[in-house]
Amino acid sequence: MSERILVAVAWPYANGSLHLGQIAGAYLPADIFARYHRIKGNEVLMVSGSDQHGTPITIKAEQEGKKPSEIAARYHQEFLEAWEKLGISFDLFTTTGTANHAEVTQDIFLTLKKNGYIYKDTVTQPFCPQCQRCLPDRYIEGTCPYCNASGARGDQCDECGKPINSIELIEPHCRICGTTPVFKDSEHFFLKLTAFNDRLLDWVKKKTHWRPNVLNFSTRYLEEGLKDRAITRDIGWGIPVPVAGYEAKRIYVWFEAVIGYLSATKEWAKSSGDAEKWRSFWQGDGVKSYYFIGKDNIPFHTLIWPAMLMGYGGLNLPYDVPANEFLTIEGKKLSTSHNWAVWLPDYLSRYDPDPLRYLLSINMPETSDTDFSWREFFRRNNNELVATYGNLVNRVLTFVYRNFNGCVPEHGELDTSVVKDVEHHLDVASDWLSKCEFRQAIMRAMLLAQETNRYLDGKSPWKAIKEDRQSAANSLYTALSIISQLKTMLYPFLPFSSQKVHEFLGFEGDIEDYGWQWQHLPPGQRLLEPKPLFTKLDEKLAEEETQRLGQAYS
């Protein structure tokens, strides 16, 4: 029976290029999961978009003398190109700048207000006397009131991960000029999170299928108790507050960005020609929603967004929030401001997508932080992708192509001693993938590739063909069949090379249409002339790549 799956992916700020931390944290796992469910024949909707409204965008626009919308449009275009090149297969990647998103956001705002979950209160806001401006949360820094870490921002502490109200910061200062801000009163709307604390705790406690870090973090947070949060700000860039007298204020970005999952689904439905189709991904028991995010985003997806959904009513809460831990770069914490990052457009200008997808999959920060190093990237590309999987495909296909008239051997038979476990490998990988345990799944596929190489080394069909053509045909037919299995197992991870193998084996059309099953090779099927799947990289270049880290980035 086919399942229906909503794949909701974090919304990147449209104020800078994408980097590998974001790819390993959210976009690649989401894409693997979506591709797996699509090839299984399930109904998938994968949505996200660029977050156009954060204050980082207004600051960047000020620095460059441009409008915020120009900055947002530039990076939105860059994101779209990056998804295309890396093979991140969104059904819709929109922006928070659409009229549709504003409409859906204002509807949620007004409904929560009508239901008594949004109220007015006076808030004391930081104002920098030097810069002569209200300081957005991200532009005030100080010591965290919870863990005493320095460098906590006005909205969140990166050290302990807790959301903060800027007035709670100890020794606050303006991030632009360092001046101690003064606090001024202003009237704003608040989301009554306290009203949801008990319901959320009951709900979260039942989520035993969540990753332990996500479950523990959320439970601990609720046991300490949520606080109400202001959801409007004195800024001019963002979604207008749909209440008279609030024309100079905007809905704050954290409140509206999470609504993007819903508004994007509605936009997708409208453009599909059936405006009501969004309901099948948000209502009823026949659908599961998965939110792919980095661990710094956990409270917004396991507490705040579910509270908003509870208060609104009639929409499904998240089924799972498989948040990833962080990716460090060459052993150090990734930092975009210090250019200690590997930028995706830069990577894609020089390398193929699948080697990166491979490394970030097999080294995915699922349960603890993992490290990216250029040396490991080169090593895994050369020793694993090229030497294990690529070599298996290449040597078998090339030999068969040359010695069997470019066709699957006519009288080849499966070597039952080897293939009895092959179906089992696919089931095991399927099990891991459905539980969002991607490392385990790709490791299983690579294990099968290794075993097949060993099998071939034992059989040596390249020598056997001279004395016993039938025995060579059998072992080659067996290896070809396992390669046909591997292209499917690896498809969610390595879509570009899996499609190539699919075609080399003589299959036509899109690999996804062939399903999550072992495609048996009809003897006599015409093969395509094989070419190497992956390129061996000069390991000396790893040193050069490492040197570039931390240098000025243009």
Catalog residues that contact Zn ion under the rule CB under 5 A: 128, 130-131, 144, 146-147, 149, 157, 159-160, 174, 176-177, 179
Task: List the one residue out of 523, 475, 474, 519 whose CA is nearest residue 501.
Answer: 519
**Least gap, CB of 63 to Zn ion (angstroms):** 14
Q: How far is CA 13 from the centre of its chain?
A: 14
Q: Which is nearer to Zn ion, 102 or 164 (CB)?
A: 164
Is the Cβ of residue 146 or residue 319 nearer to Zn ion in the bound state? 146
Specify the amino acid at residue 352. D
Nearer residue to Zn ion within complex by CB, 176 or 243 = 176
**Widest Cα–Cα separation across the chain:** 91
The DSSP result for 3-47, as a single string, is -EEEEEE---BTTS--BHHHIIIIIHHHHHHHHHHHHTT-EEEEE
Distance in Å, CB of 131 to Zn ion, minimum: 3
Minimum separation from the CB atom of position 61 to Zn ion (A): 18
> For residues 234 and 125, is the Cβ–Cβ distance under 8 A?
yes
Taking the complex as a whole, how short is the minimal distance between the CB of residue 554 and Zn ion, in angstroms?
27
Rounded distance, CA 290 to CA 7, Å? 5
State the nearest-atom distance from the C-beta of 322 to Zn ion, in Å: 24
Report the alpha-carbon distance of residue 525 to residue 514 in Å, rounded. Answer: 16
> How many Å apart are CA 263 and CA 101, to the nearest integer?
5
- ∠ CA 132-137-141, nearest 5°, is 85
Shortest Å, Cβ 173 to Zn ion: 8
| Residues forming a β-bridge with 327 | 370
Q: Which is nearer to Zn ion, 144 or 479 (CB)?
A: 144
Q: Euclidean distance between the first and final Cα of the chain, in Å?
A: 51
Residue 159 vs 413, nearer CB to Zn ion: 159
Cα–Cα distance, 233 to 256 (Å, whole number): 12
- Closer to Zn ion at the Cβ: 151 or 532? 151
Burial class (CB in 10 A: 0-12, 13-18, 19+), 354: buried
Strands 133-134 and 118-128: antiparallel
Q: Shortest Cβ distance from residue 149 to Zn ion (Å)? A: 5
Minimum CB–partner distance for residue 170 and Zn ion (Å)? 11
* Residue closer to Zn ion (CB basis): 177 or 248: 177
**Identity of the residue, 326 or 358, whose beta carbon is nearer to Zn ion in the bound complex:** 326
Q: Between residues 104 and 144, which has the closer beta carbon with respect to Zn ion?
A: 144
CB of 159 or CB of 296, closer to Zn ion: 159
For 553, other C-beta atoms within 10 Å of its C-beta total 14
Contact between 408 and 525 under an 8 Å Cβ cutoff? The reply is yes
Q: Are 318 and 291 in contact (CB under 8 A)?
A: yes
**Residue 549 · residue 330 · CB < 8 Å:** yes
Q: Using an 8 Å Cβ cutoff, are 50 and 75 in contact?
A: yes
Q: How far is the CB of 159 from Zn ion (least distance, A)?
A: 5
CB of 398 to Zn ion, least distance (A): 57
